[in-house]
A and B are shown apart, each in its own frame.
Chain A
Amino acid sequence: MAWFTFPADNLLCRCLGISITVWFTLLFVFIIMPAVLGVSFGIRSFYMRTLLKIFEWATLRMELGAKEKNQELYKPLRSEPEFEMADIFYFCRRGVESIVDDEVTKRFSAQELKSWNLLTRSNYNFRHISLRLTVLWGLGILIRYGVLLPLRVTLAVTGICLLLVLTTLVAFLPNAELRSYLSEKVHLMCYRICVRALTAIITYHNRYMIFSNGGICVANHTTPIDVIILANDGCYSLVGQVHGGLMGMVQRAMVKSSSHIWFERSEVKDRHLVAKRLGDHVADKTKQPILVFPEGTCINNTSVMMFKKGSFEIGCTVYPVAIKYDPRFGDAFWNSSKFGMVSYLLRMMSSWAIVCSVWYLPPMNREEGEDAVQFANRVKAAIAAQGGLVDLIWDGGLKRAKVKDVFKEEQQKLYSKVLVGRLSVH
């Protein structure tokens, strides 16, 4: 530090220098090296268990100190056989309930948490319950923003730089086999670093469901980081739109060493082109399986919306994957109409952790006489059943569009059955 002239500053910079060195060494040894090698010290699981204990304690204190009890929203009951004049109440109540708290909209707004996980953004009713809790919450803020956030940002930057550099290097190799082997390793390594950058604690179930090349992996989509979560465990070919900026650079770098399918914005509308490119990729057995999110928009992880049928028309084996996030640790849901990408990433990086489970399901094929939509629904039901997610018949596009009359007819059909049941009794 030759450019500082004051002795006091000298001491200060030396301390700073040492602490930064120590910091980076620790980072390297405990996080980056394991990521590169693919081993785990178990630090994150320990962290998760500790966090859970703290949350439970905090919830208990909050419940003890809370003045009013939390009330559940009433689920409307089927009307008992009575006079028809009263039947209007059922629809009336349903209607008002939806004005107060729309079920579909509820799926899109972040899940209310029963347990308070020291993130005020999850529990909207943070009240000053006791001094101890407020102190804990303040401490939490300090740790999250002061310690965890810089750590994670460093890791993320490291991960992305490594990805860019290494994929470009690997692309120069002449030998195709060596190239694909190395590019796999490189990809996995960088995803592992990114996963640690988010402190994502992922549990993979049924990993013995090995999928061979030439298939499509279908998963439910909750957040933009779904890709990282899945790609952490296996090599996929990604499908998506070409972006500009940093994302675009990353996309171009990835394409150099392994094959991904990136579409121009204009091409996305052309369904035949999309289907053709997907089909060609799948037919080539040397290529990795494609990862597709058929829902097409971020749902808030309590339900699995209607799958769009495009990927199911291709007619190859489908490997369903179910992803479920544990909401106790932080809400990973991205409401794209409310938050931009950067602010979303910042929120993610300043949460405690992202805990999720991934289940690999047995492969499914389209059966005789089944059309693409029915096949899609079958896959969706399997994913929902595994992940404990609610199987909604809503189309993901509903978030920004109006509902179809077909659903009103369903309501009327149900009501008429009730009436007919009564009429026959008379």
Chain B
Amino acid sequence: MGSSSSNMDHIPDAQHLMQETGFSAAHLVRLYERFDFLDKDDRGELRLDDFEAVSELAMNPIGDRIIRAFFSPGRETVDFPSFVRILAHFRPTDTNRTRNGRNGAQPEPANSRTNKLKFAFQLYDQDRDGKISREELLQVLRAMLEMQVTEEQLQSIAERAIQEADLDLDDTISFDEFKKSLEKVDIEHKMSIRFLE
């Protein structure tokens, strides 16, 4: 009776994770169940093919980029703490968090606006050099549109996007330029998902 992993004992380092990511105990249990479900061979960690088995993700044009975001550079597996840390970026921003977190000891939470933007930036910047080049932008556009537009249309879309965002005219978009171009966008809303309890 009851779900098998419905208590916190199975989760390694639960308290620490909760503090770090801001997830509640119930959320963490839910995510652990999901992690367990995705981990088909019960290895305790996820690999590429576990993610690829999520069919709706395979259907997503940038699915492979999102999957790669879970894997730290050089690693081929994702353990539960890493899984949760990435998902923490998508927690809705805490509206009641007071702004006196400038006492130095508090690092910025994973779901702050800046960190959400950083996550999105990395989806574009696959070689992690801190800039989105024209080629990287084109790759993303191609993934999202593929057969639906011609190559010229793709180029012109990319061109316009770079022109509008590139302020220091170095033909790439740095993180600050990226942030600036999305000033007016409601990131908190677009990059948050409600985690079901």
Contact = CB atoms under 8 A, between A and B. Distances in A.
Contacts of A412: 61, 144-148
Nearest to B158: A84
B53 to A, nearest CB: 7
Given A83-B164, A120-B1, A96 B62 contact: no
Nearest to B86: A96
A86 B190 contact: yes
A124 B6 contact: yes
Enumerate the 7 nearest inter-chain pairs by beta-carbon distance, A residue then B residue, closest first: A416-B148, A98-B56, A95-B66, A403-B55, A89-B190, A120-B2, A407-B59
28 contacts: A71-B195, A71-B196, A72-B194, A73-B196, A74-B192, A74-B194, A83-B185, A85-B182, A88-B62, A88-B120, A88-B123, A88-B140, A88-B144, A91-B66, A95-B62, A96-B87, A96-B193, A98-B60, A99-B38, A99-B66, A121-B3, A126-B2, A402-B58, A403-B56, A409-B146, A409-B147, A410-B59, A415-B144
Interface residue tally on A, bucketed by range: 35 or more
Nearest to A401: B55
A70 B194 contact: no
Interface of A: 68, 70-74, 82-105, 112, 120-121, 124-126, 141, 394, 398, 402-403, 407-413, 415-416, 419
B145 A419 contact: yes
A199 to B, nearest CB: 19
Interface residue tally on B, bucketed by range: 35 or more
B149 interface: yes
A354 to B, nearest CB: 18
Nearest to A79: B190
B145 A98 contact: no
B66 A411 contact: no
A45 to B, nearest CB: 28
A107 B190 CA distance: 25
Nearest to B195: A100
A101 B66 contact: no
Interface in B2-42: 2-3, 6, 24, 26, 31, 33-34, 37-38
B57 A99 contact: yes
A415 B61 contact: yes
Contacts of B33: 124
B184 to A, nearest CB: 9
A84 B144 CA distance: 11
Contacts, number: 157
Contact of B34 (A83, A85, A100): A100
Contacts of B62: 88, 91-92, 95
Interface string B147-184: 11100000001000100110000000000001001100
Contacts of A86: 182, 185, 190
B197 interface: yes
Given A71-B194, A86-B190, A412-B61, A102 B56 contact: yes
B130 interface: no
A124 B3 contact: yes
B190 A99 contact: no
Contacts of B164: 83
Contact of B24 (A68, A100, A105): A68
Contacts of A416: 145, 148-149
Interface in B83-98: 87, 90
B160 to A, nearest CB: 8
B54 interface: yes
A369 to B, nearest CB: 29
Given A88-B144, A124-B6, 9 more contacts: A68-B24, A95-B60, A99-B87, A101-B34, A408-B59, A408-B60, A408-B61, A411-B61, A419-B157
Nearest to A89: B190
Given A71-B196, A412-B148, A92 B61 contact: no
A416 B61 CA distance: 12
Contacts of A98: 54, 56-57, 60
Interface string B51-79: 11111111111110010000000000000
Contacts of B145: 412, 415-416, 419
A68 B66 contact: no
Given A99-B66, A102-B56, A416-B148, A93 B194 contact: no
Nearest to A84: B161
A102 B195 contact: no
A141 B2 CA distance: 12
B193 A100 contact: yes
A408 B197 contact: no
A83 B177 CA distance: 14
A282 to B, nearest CB: 35
Contact of A84 (B24, B59, B157, B197): B157
A85 B165 contact: yes
A127 to B, nearest CB: 9
A394 B38 CA distance: 20
A102 B66 contact: no
A408 B55 CA distance: 10
A286 to B, nearest CB: 45
A89 B90 CA distance: 11
Contacts of B148: 412-413, 415-416
B60 A100 contact: no
A90 B62 CA distance: 10
A74 B90 CA distance: 12
A104 B66 contact: no
